[in-house]
Structure 1
Amino acid sequence: MIVRIMGEGQVKLADSHVVELNELDDVLLKEMESGDGPGFRTTLHALLDKVRELGTPLPDDSLEPSELILPAPDATLEDVRAMLSDGGLIPN
């Protein structure tokens, strides 16, 4: 799976990691629904760090179709709300 982190680039991530990322996505969704700004910020950074850790960066000159687009690390609650689907940022 190709994942784009807005403002950073793309990484290739094994489909097997989706379950682990969904756990963080579920926490992020709950924090957004409750308006927990500090928790949201911490979980967003944890999610992006996990994608960076588990994924392999694609070269800057590579432009693959992204199957998943994640917000930039400095995204606000409102920015991320606009990106959400019913299941969060990461489809189940």
Structure 2
Amino acid sequence: MIVRIMGEGQVKLADSHFAELNKLDDELLAEMDSGDEAGFRRTLAALLDAVRTLGTALPDDALEPSELILPAPDASLEEVRHMLSDDGLIPG
């Protein structure tokens, strides 16, 4: 799956990593629901770091269609809230 991190670029990520990413996504949702800004920041950073670490960055000149778009590291809680689907940021 091709994942775009807003403001950074695209990463190719194997589907086998999505169970791990979904755990972080669930944690992020809980922190957003409770208004835990510090927890939200920490978990968003961990989620984006996991995508960067587990995936392979695509070259800057590659323009693959992104199947998943994640917020920038400095996105606000409200900006991320607008990006959510019923499943959170990560489908499944």
Q: TM-score range by the shorter chain?
A: over 0.9
Distance 1:24 1:69 in 2: 16
The residue type paired with residue 25 of structure 2 is D
**Same amino acid, percent of matched pairs:** 79
Tell me the SS of whatever aligns to 2:69. Answer: strand
SS in 1 for 2:74: coil
Residue in 2 that maps onto 1:86? 86
Structure 1 counterpart of 2:45, one-letter code:
H
Structure 1 stretches of 4+ with a deviation exceeding 2 A read: none
TM-score, normalisation: structure 2: 0.99
Q: What is the deviation of 1:86?
A: 0.7
Structure 1 residue matching 2:64: 3-state secondary structure: coil
Instruction: Mark the runs of 5 or more structure 1 residues left unpaired by the alignment.
Output: none
Alpha-carbon distance in structure 2 between the residues aligned to 1:4 and 1:12:
9
Distance in 2 between the 1:68 and 1:17 partners? 14
Q: Tell me, which stretches of 5 or more residues in structure 2 are unaligned?
A: none
Matched residue count: 92
